[in-house]
Amino acid sequence: MTIHSAPPAARRIPTTAVLHGEPLVDDYAWLRDRESPEVRAYLEAENRYAEGVLAPLAGLESALYDEMLARIKQTDLSVPYRDGEYWYYTRTEERKQYAIYCRKFETLEAVEEVLLDLNQMVIGRSFIAVAVFAVSPDARYLAYSTDVTGFREYTLHIKDLATGTEMIEPIPHVGTLVWAADSRIFFYTVEDQTTKRDFRLYRTSLAGGTADLVYEEPDERFRVVVTRTRSRRFLVLYAASHLTSEAQVLEAGNPTGGWRVVIPREHDREYDLDHHDDRFFVRINDTSRNFRVVTVPVTDSNPAGWTEVLAPQDDVMIEGVECFAGHWVAWERCEGLPRIRIADLDRDQVRYVGFEEEVYEAGPAVNAEWHTHQFRYRYESFVTAPSVYEYDMTTGDSVLLKRKDVLGDYDPARYQSERLFATAADGTRIPISLVRRRDAGSGPAPAYLTGYGAYGISFPVSFTSNRLSLLDRGVTFAVAHVRGGGELGRRWHDGGRMGQKQNTFTDFIACADHLVATGRTRHDRLAIDGGSAGGLLIGAVVNLRRDLCAAALLEVPFVDVINTMRDATLPLTVGEYEEWGNPDVEEQYRWIRAYCPYTNLTAGAYPAILVRTSLNDSQVMYWEPAKYVARLRTLKTDGNPLLLLTNLGAGHGGASGRYDRLREIATDYAFVLWRLGLAG
The order of strands in the sheet holding 223-228 is 223-228, 234-240, 245-251, 260-261
**375 touches 342 (CB < 8 A):** yes
Beta-strand (E) ranges in 439-524?
A: 447-451, 476-480
Phi, psi torsion values for 603, nearest 5 degrees: -65, 140
145 tagged catalytic: no
Residues 6+ apart with CB under 8 A from 66: none
What gap in Å lies between CA 39 and CA 615, rounded to an integer? 11
126 tagged catalytic: no
- DSSP-derived secondary structure letter, 69: H
Alpha carbon distances (Å) from 680 to 4, 212, 549, 653: 20, 64, 20, 30
What gap in Å lies between CA 412 and CA 150, rounded to an integer? 36
Catalytic entry in 145, 652, 656, 668: 652
**16 touches 25 (CB < 8 A):** yes
Question: Three-state SS for 200?
Answer: strand
Phi, psi torsion values for 154, nearest 5 degrees: -90, 130
Catalytic entry in 617, 618, 656, 668: 617
Backbone dihedral region for residue 124 (phi beyond 0: left; psi -120 to 50: alpha; all else: beta)? left
DSSP H helices, 219-282, are none
Nearest-5° angle of CA 447, CA 452, CA 454?
160
Nearest-5° angle of CA 663, CA 666, CA 668?
115
What gap in Å lies between CA 578 and CA 268, rounded to an integer? 10
Closest CA to 523 of 676, 678, 335: 676
Catalytic entry in 465, 532, 614, 656: 532
What gap in Å lies between CA 277 and CA 543, rounded to an integer? 55
Question: Three-state SS for 469?
Answer: helix
> Partners of 77 in the beta sheet?
91
What gap in Å lies between CA 488 and CA 496, rounded to an integer? 12
Q: What is the radius of gyration, based on Cα positions, of the chain?
A: 25
652 tagged catalytic: yes
Helices 586-593 and 573-580, interaxial angle, to 10°? 80
**660 touches 653 (CB < 8 A):** no
- Side-chain half-sphere exposure of 246, counting CA atoms within 13 A: 15
**Which residues participate in catalysis according to the annotation?**
532, 617, 652
